[in-house]
Amino acid sequence: MAGTAGDEQLSSHALKSPVPTGRPGGLARWLPILEWGRRYDRATFGADLLAAVIVTLMLIPQSLAYAQLANLPPHVGLYASIAPLVVYALFGSSHALAVGPVAVVSLMTAAAIGGLGIVDEAARLQAALTLAALSGVMLVLMGILRLGFLASFLSHPVISGFLTASSLLITLSQLKHLLGIRANGDTLPELLPQLIAGLPAIHWPTAAMGAGVLAFLYWTRSRLKPLLRRLGLGTRAADMCAKAGPVLAVLGSTALMWALKLDEAGVRRVGDIPAGLPPLTAPSMSPDILLPFLLPAFLISLIGFVESVSVAQNFAAKRRLRIDPNQELVGLGVANLAAAATGGYPVTGGLSRSVVSFDAGAASPAAGAFTAVGIALASLTLTPALYYLPQATLAATIVVAILTLVDFATLRKTWRSSRPDFLAAMTTLVVTLMAGVEAGVSSGVLLTLLGHLWRASRPHMAVVGCVPGTEHYRNVERHRVDTDPALIGLRVDEGLNFMNARQVEDRILSLVAAQPSVQHVVLQCSAVNDIDASALEMLEAVAHRLQDMGVLLHLSEVKGPVMDRLRRTDLLAHLGGRVFLSHHGAVMALGGEARVTAGRESGPPQP
Amino acid sequence: MAGTAGDEQLSSHALKSPVPTGRPGGLARWLPILEWGRRYDRATFGADLLAAVIVTLMLIPQSLAYAQLANLPPHVGLYASIAPLVVYALFGSSHALAVGPVAVVSLMTAAAIGGLGIVDEAARLQAALTLAALSGVMLVLMGILRLGFLASFLSHPVISGFLTASSLLITLSQLKHLLGIRANGDTLPELLPQLIAGLPAIHWPTAAMGAGVLAFLYWTRSRLKPLLRRLGLGTRAADMCAKAGPVLAVLGSTALMWALKLDEAGVRRVGDIPAGLPPLTAPSMSPDILLPFLLPAFLISLIGFVESVSVAQNFAAKRRLRIDPNQELVGLGVANLAAAATGGYPVTGGLSRSVVSFDAGAASPAAGAFTAVGIALASLTLTPALYYLPQATLAATIVVAILTLVDFATLRKTWRSSRPDFLAAMTTLVVTLMAGVEAGVSSGVLLTLLGHLWRASRPHMAVVGCVPGTEHYRNVERHRVDTDPALIGLRVDEGLNFMNARQVEDRILSLVAAQPSVQHVVLQCSAVNDIDASALEMLEAVAHRLQDMGVLLHLSEVKGPVMDRLRRTDLLAHLGGRVFLSHHGAVMALGGEARVTAGRESGPPQP
């Protein structure tokens, strides 16, 4: 079976992609708009416009709410939903991805700025756009250097643990707005005691407003759509109306607040939002801000990228298109640079918004640019109307959206399929809850890497002997085979590298120490696809040590590319032993007549 | 050829070691002395005693010199050469390893304490033993938890770059003692300008003393041995005498200093060394010291362990013995704890000393305990005699010993064998020189891991087609094979995990996007040895996305252990497609009559 796996690795030629990937050349490589813009027509325009109107209605409350989650004034959320969308339309490759503020990145922004201990609002605004700039630079660089593979550091268990933990943290952080009490902090140990201590001081009008909006939003999510269907609306129209829940909640609760003068009863409102277009801004260049932001910005970039790409790939697949992850890095990067230049904060592609955009029929990245026009109009004209918008409404919007990300089912699945993966997920979850997003994700990534290293440092190795009457060599533990007391044949079933070199060395030396009659060790390299400098050093050291014991080290069945590499080094000169084309040839040449039938029979013969 | 590699991986049974590793059970598992102590006899005692006398003579100047390198008073070096050696004799498994202060660890100790900005001598002593305690705890824990594999993080290129850079840094740091000028710092940018600026202020008597000792030491290293041989001495005796060079240098230069009253001319001397046995001490428990020491202590542990184990393995191999790396961790750990408890600083096994001990015939770990007695006697009685010992002599001893570690040959070798490994080595070298050991080693390790991740995220994949007239499937790029426009067969030649899941997903989706006629994708898993949670999630997501396009995902030739894992998950329920025993069976069942001869012929047919 494995025979089909290795045969073509004999050549060191890299595999070329056998199909065109649809990737354009020249300038269009970096500006996908040059590609899709040529085919833009009236039908596409109509589809994009409709999608933009619907996404705009959805994005207004979302951007205000996520700015609140990021501990920033609400208009920052609007600013982050204008220029970044236009720029993404130029550089992004996804037709449906709706870029803008998202919950998880907003939480991470709040934690990063909070970690710096900045209280002053102007300084926080400056820090937020600096974070966006840093993240933008990192994303663009990663795209240009084609470092999209770095996202692999975030394994699925780590992402799942992180998403569940941050959803819980976000919910906790919004409880204060829903209950009208005070609580600050970014972790469970910071938030929970304050929330519990604050319970007696619940502001009942605020809590009533919060509960009402929550109930309404849950109702629109679960009941409104079937109701509209029964009233005769089409499936898609009913779906769209149900998605308008947050807009209705904003309108209704603002009207209620204004009519009943609830703000005078102590229900907190959003207050003055400056009307107008975003200002031009520049990030801070102070190392006091840039240095501590390096890790948060990197994690925001990575997590935002992973979220965006998985959303974008999902939609691309539905239309049999594909997106280029490295181009997405560039698109998200310039979107963040645009956010930094226009008073915003870190943005990325959001799932729920993209679903709406896709369902509404968005047919090109232009839909995003049209949405930006909508948000700009809202920013110019609607802000006075938002004066009476209750903070509790925004909090309820966040909680309803975010609780869908809590995902204990994946944890259960992971428990069943792999204990180490479960450990990584649980560690990420618990550390994120207890010590914040950065510590949680970092420890999850570290644990994933450690687990990988641990497994990789235990390569599969087998002492082999000859199946009687054949030229085949098999594991002495599993098969009835002949061995020669003067010769040890050892097969390593993985590429030799820094992770397993020590283990291979240890195994060879312990085998030889345990078998005093041995004169030759033959390393069967049929499954060794690669060899690195650490493994070369190891082989040289082992060969020398074996020579000190009067034992020679030989290699057999070395693959072409590995042999090429060996020839570029002086290992073959230091080896002492020889390189044989076949393991049987080695045994014949070295063992000769001394071969005896001495197969171990620890397992039943398996011919 | 690869057929012999994969067949036995069908079972998930772990490979049991087929030979006894000679590892004792019970208490002797943790206290090797119970094992070798039973066989201890008069001959072994004599051999150990002789070796101990010779190593003691060598260790006295070394321990004084390395304490100077660590920016600690000279008697700390003596203290670190008493209790740790006794304790290692109880817990260590190597018969020849000579534990004590070593150059590289001393440099790292100086850098760690310097990084804390501690100037006061008492505080520096306390910090040094705290570092030893922390490193001891880490080593013992790593040993008990069998984490010896962590040493794999330090690939050979990283170690080689680090050793060369730290040898250069150590030499630079000792130049001030050799030239009698002032210069402080742990990195090239700190040291070099001060040394150059100090050149006009060279203290000539000190420089003359330094040059004289350097010349004498080089002469004993290169010329004394042949001379003694010509005078009729045996090889081993000549070798031993030549190794006594540093002792002679200490005696000679001390006598010269005393006779010519050079200290009054400004040549700096070691001065008062308190006579007596080491005091009992306890490490600091302050988090202000412990927290910033976590990384340095970890790196000191890891680097000390790697150095020790490779030395110990070398000697063990010469006597056909083996050492247990995890037991070495425990041995080195308790040695460091002993150093912390007796006013010492971090210790590990030293190469040059161990060579001498081995050559002198040390036959058991008891030789180390006898050496400790020798150093204790020296510490009690000889310290007044060391009052006039010039600091320049110690500096010369260090420089002569350390420059042998400068190793540009390995860099050249690595350049020829592997560019990424060379990059890791050069990065470690340059960053260590410019920013210190911690930054250097950390960046080297990070680069090694990134490089590994990069390679691992590019798994070998091949679109396969049927070799006409057979049931064999081969790469369409390399062979003349039949393919079916409605079916894509894709073989992945590696285990599926978090590192390559995204790449596999991307490849499948782009293949399908480029071939609109396709209805089935069959993933040939003959070389997939393992699958983790990230890869399972990926397969589920890909299956769903393909279903959105009207394409089914199937698996073929799934190995036993992988199939076991799949059965524990719900992937098979979500897959949509089927699992086939053979790839040919899949093609027959799915493709049926639609099969056409459409093999790509980009390469010559290779039957």
A360-414 confidence digits (pLDDT tens): 788 888 888 999 999 999 899 888 888 888 989 988 988 888 887 788 888 888 8
The identity of residue B46, as a single letter, is G
CA B510, distance to chain mean position in Å, is: 42
With a cut of 70, say whether residue A606 has pLDDT above it: no
pLDDT of residue B10: 31
pLDDT of residue B20: 36
What chain A residue is nearest to B546 in terms of C-alpha separation? A317
In the block, tokens 């030649």 appear at B493
Residue pLDDT, tens place only, A227-272 = 888 888 887 777 777 777 888 888 899 999 889 888 888 888 888 8
pLDDT of residue A248: 87
**What is the mean pLDDT of the segment spanning A331-354?**
92
pLDDT of residue B592: 55
% of chain A surpassing 70 pLDDT: 92
With a cut of 50, say whether residue B108 has pLDDT above it: yes
The two tokens of residue B266 are: 């400004």
The identity of residue A303, as a single letter, is I
**pLDDT band per the 50, 70, 90 thresholds, residue B417:** confident
On the CB side of A396, CA atoms within 13 Å amount to 29
Tell whether B462 lies on the interface with A, counting CB pairs under 8 A.
Answer: yes
- CB B359 within 8 Å of CB B96: no
- CB A65 within 8 Å of CB A395: yes
Q: Across all residues in chain B, what is the average pLDDT? A: 84
What chain A residue is nearest to B563 in terms of C-alpha separation? A417
**pLDDT band per the 50, 70, 90 thresholds, residue A24:** low
Name the least confident of A38-47, A259-268, A495-504, B21-30. B21-30
Mutate to test the interface with B, among A320, A447, A528, A540 (most CBs of B within 10 A): A320
Could you please report the per-residue DSSP string of B343-368? T----EEEHHHHHHHHHTT--STHHH
CA A95, distance to chain mean position in Å, is: 21
pLDDT of residue B602: 37
% of chain A surpassing 90 pLDDT: 28
What chain A residue is nearest to B450 in terms of C-alpha separation? A150
Please report the sign of the dihedral spanned by the C-alpha atoms of residue A55, residue A56, residue A57, residue A60.
positive
Tell whether A286 lies on the interface with B, counting CB pairs under 8 A.
Answer: no
pTM flag (> 0.80)? no
With a cut of 80, say whether residue A67 has pLDDT above it: yes
**pLDDT band per the 50, 70, 90 thresholds, residue B575:** confident
With a cut of 60, say whether residue B18 has pLDDT above it: no
Mutate to test the interface with A, among B4, B302, B429, B481 (most CBs of A within 10 A): B4
DSSP state of B514: H
Q: Which residues of chain B lie closer than 8 angstroms to A18, CB-CB?
A: 463, 476-477, 600, 602
pLDDT of residue B25: 58
* Angle in degrees, CA A510, A539, B430, rounded to 5: 120
pLDDT of residue A25: 58
Tell me which residue in A2, A410, A501 faces B2 most closely, judged by beta carbons: A2
Tell whether A601 lies on the interface with B, counting CB pairs under 8 A.
Answer: no
pLDDT of residue A222: 83
| Chain B from 310 to 329: CB within 8 A of any A CB | 310, 313-314, 316-318, 320-322, 325
- Strand-pairing partners, residue A34, are none
Tell whether A1 lies on the interface with B, counting CB pairs under 8 A.
Answer: yes
With a cut of 70, say whether residue A77 has pLDDT above it: yes
The two tokens of residue B175 are: 């130049």
pLDDT of residue A46: 86
| A386-412 as b/e: b if 16+ CB within 10 A | bebbbbbbbbbbbbbbbeebebeebbe
pLDDT of residue A607: 37
With a cut of 80, say whether residue B142 has pLDDT above it: yes
Residue pLDDT, tens place only, A120-173 = 889 999 999 999 999 999 999 999 988 888 888 888 889 889 889 988 998 998
With a cut of 50, say whether residue B110 has pLDDT above it: yes
Tell me which residue in B4, B515, B545 faces A491 most closely, judged by beta carbons: B4
Tell whether B584 lies on the interface with A, counting CB pairs under 8 A.
Answer: no
Tell me which residue in A491, A545, A568 faces B417 most closely, judged by beta carbons: A568
What chain A residue is nearest to B155 in terms of C-alpha separation? A498
Angstrom CA distances, B269 to B110, B258, B264, stand at 20, 10, 10
pLDDT of residue B5: 37
pLDDT of residue B299: 92
With a cut of 90, say whether residue B553 has pLDDT above it: yes
Those residues whose C-beta lies under 8 Å from the C-beta of residue A334, and which sit 6 or more positions away, are A87, A88, A90, A91, A136, A140
- CB B187 within 8 Å of CB B433: yes
Tell me which residue in A413, A462, A548 faces B15 most closely, judged by beta carbons: A462
With a cut of 90, say whether residue B276 has pLDDT above it: no
pLDDT of residue A490: 94
**What is the mean pLDDT of the segment spanning B155-183?**
89
Those residues whose C-beta lies under 8 Å from the C-beta of residue B150, and which sit 6 or more positions away, are A450, A453, B142, B302
- Strand-pairing partners, residue B576, are B553
Q: Across all residues in chain A, what is the average pLDDT? A: 84
Q: Which residues of chain B lie closer than 8 angstroms to A475, CB-CB?
A: 8, 15
pLDDT of residue B377: 92
| Chain B from 8 to 47: CB within 8 A of any A CB | 8-9, 11, 15-22
% of chain B surpassing 70 pLDDT: 92
Distance CA A208, CA A205 (A): 5
pLDDT of residue A125: 93
Q: For residue A581, how many other CB atoms are within 10 A of its CB?
A: 11
pLDDT of residue B603: 38
